[in-house]
Chain A
Amino acid sequence: MSSYYGRSILKPPAWGPAIAVYFFTGGLAGMSGALSFLARARRNRSLASSALVTSAVGLAVSLPLLIIDLGRPERFLNMMRVVKPTSPMSIGTWILSGFSAATGTAVVAKVVGAVGPVPFVRPLGLVAQGLSAALGTGVATYTAVLVSDTAVPVWHEGRREMPFIFAGSASASAGGAAAILTPTADAGPARRLAVGGAIVEVVASELMKRRLGPLARPYAEGGVRVLDQLSTGLTVGGAAALAGFGRRRPAAMLGGALLLAGSLCKRFAIFRAGFESVRQTTGEAPEGPMPTSPSPGEPLRVQPVSSRSPGAKDAATKTEKVRQRATPESE
């Protein structure tokens, strides 16, 4: 055993839960933008407008989330003083800015077009929606690069599958939201997008965990495990409801809601897995059988003491900790 008093080598991410919520709302907004554009191109007006509304709302929630999570929110414009290909956050800022401008323009064009006939407003809206669709796929996937481009083992080593998980999750949520908000007769494309996204999300997650091997430990323990399994259950359930009974309004609404919840849980599972993963970077190789769900806050390196009676559990854990702290090294 070798570690420095069981301390993790890496620092836990500085990001708060706002970022996990943003991964969800950003993906939702991005894919809703794409859905809305294609619906409009296919003259599916109800789907086009419901998806555009979702996209605008998702975006309106996303931007403040990103700003409040900064250590110095008043300096958020400093993001725009450089364009930096080595920084996914810089590239992401520019993608998101373009997406915001396009979506904003599309919404304004839509509102103006509804008020009265103004020249060029329809083509302008269409071009804006096209841009919004193209950039929307970027908004839905760059966040995967953002988390993978870190030293956090469970994020970095999951880099092959992460963009597909995020893309699937974004599709499932956008399709789900549109299935809720659109009359079922017009929501067919939304349902298909949702089901396809759900399948990609669940399969890519499973592949990632398998390939990670021992590094996937955070997904098998505690709160992250609950979130991850909950996400899979919600997503599979929602996709099944939409695929099987999506033409009935109540089932469409239920399925859509389940998919949205599943997508949100997936983002939180991945987000929180990163914090757990950092906690496990003590320098000690994971060895022996996995401890069964240690309570949060308890150091993971504490070996189970076989002779410990249930009543003396706390005391035993305490002395174990003290002993381990006193002799960090005993090769």
Chain B
Amino acid sequence: MAVVSGPPPYRDATVIQPQPDEKVGFFTDSSICIGCKACEVACKEWNHVPVDGLNFLGSSYDNTGELGANSWRHVAFIEQNRPVAADGSGGMRWLMNSDVCKHCAHAACLEVCPTGALMRTEFGTVVVQPDVCNGCGYCVSACPFGVIERREGDGRAFKCTLCYDRLKGQMQPACAQACPTQSIQFGPIDDLRARARRRLADLEQQGVADARLYGVDETDNEVGGLHAFFLLLDKPEVYGLPAHPVTTTRDLRQMWRTAAAAAGMLALGVLAAFVKRR
């Protein structure tokens, strides 16, 4: 189909060397993902991520299932029965997309972390410091994407580091390095955003009506922009991505105010309980 035919769309893209104080991230173009899972493998190899079980999930070619403590890249496979040809005749299509931690600009996991184990790096990414994390599990419930998870048998929380160590060594992350189709692109996020918008315009011109960007605009969600964004060919939910992610700490002020009101009510309530009735 049109999406994967034709010349490679990013021939002019060059590999950049990450510099400190430059915000970097991923742009994952699912329209040219071939589902090879090289990203999953490269990530496991480089980061020494333990095995996630040898499972047969029965969900197309996806036996990883979801992101978690032991899966920092996850290639989603979706099989759809739908007309794909121009004349509306039948067929089926495969959607593939390599999901990853979004490294949110307003990262709920980082904000709720009580130990300071989760931190923002000089590259604008969000990283767990494994020597600090005490496994309280708060980040797990705070993440609106269901990414971070406590590792069984270890007790600490783990997720994608955007290869912090490789960035330090001015190398690109392992998954982007391994991706054979340039579906996973690494670079300064402003460059990547422009590239994503260009690609969307190209696809729309080619008549790919369902294409859409996910997490590119800082205003299109409540997490203040993502450091890992996507070009998708269907609704985000189809790929297991939330349609309207919200950083829970957005409402924290209101929550503390309400709790203060409740605490005040308690103080008055106890006082009132001691008022002697004659």
State the A residues within 8 Å of B (CB): 2-5, 7-11, 13-15, 31, 34-35, 38-39, 42, 69-73, 75-76, 78-79, 81-82, 84, 86-90, 93, 133-134, 137-138, 140-142, 144-145, 148-152, 155-156, 159-160, 162-164, 166-167, 170-171, 175, 189-190, 192-193, 196-197, 200, 274, 281-284, 322, 325-331
A155 to B148, CA, bound (A): 19
Q: Are A325 and B142 in contact (CB under 8 A)?
A: no
CB distance from A24 to the nearest CB of B (A): 16
* A5 contact set on B, CB distance < 8 A: 57, 59, 62
Chain B residues bordering chain A, tally (CB within 8 A): 78
* B140 contact set on A, CB distance < 8 A: 11, 13-14
Show 17 A/B contacts (Cβ-Cβ < 8 Å), sorted by A.
A11-B141, A14-B141, A34-B266, A35-B273, A38-B270, A38-B274, A71-B136, A81-B115, A86-B111, A145-B252, A156-B248, A159-B254, A163-B259, A167-B262, A167-B265, A326-B79, A327-B79
For the complex of A and B, the 9 pairs showing the least CB-CB separation, nearest first, are A71-B135, A71-B155, A14-B137, A283-B237, A4-B240, A75-B134, A163-B262, A150-B141, A89-B114
A88 to B59, CA, bound (A): 38
The count of A-to-B residue pairs whose CB atoms sit within 8 angstroms is: 252
Among B59, B137, B145, B270, residue most surrounded by chain A Cβ atoms (within 10 Å): B270
Q: Which positions 129-172 of chain B face chain A at CB distance < 8 Å?
A: 132-138, 140-151, 154-157
* B54 contact set on A, CB distance < 8 A: none
Q: Are A163 and B150 in contact (CB under 8 A)?
A: no
A93 to B138, CA, bound (A): 13
Among B108, B150, B235, B262, residue most surrounded by chain A Cβ atoms (within 10 Å): B262
A156 to B137, CA, bound (A): 16
User: Of A10, A156, A327, which contacts B143 at CB under 8 A?
Assistant: A10
* A13 contact set on B, CB distance < 8 A: 137, 140-141
- Beyond A34-B267, A160-B258, is A87–B112 a contact (Cβ under 8 Å)? yes
Q: Which positions 230-252 of chain B face chain A at CB distance < 8 Å?
A: 234-243, 246, 248-249, 251-252
A142 to B243, CA, bound (A): 30
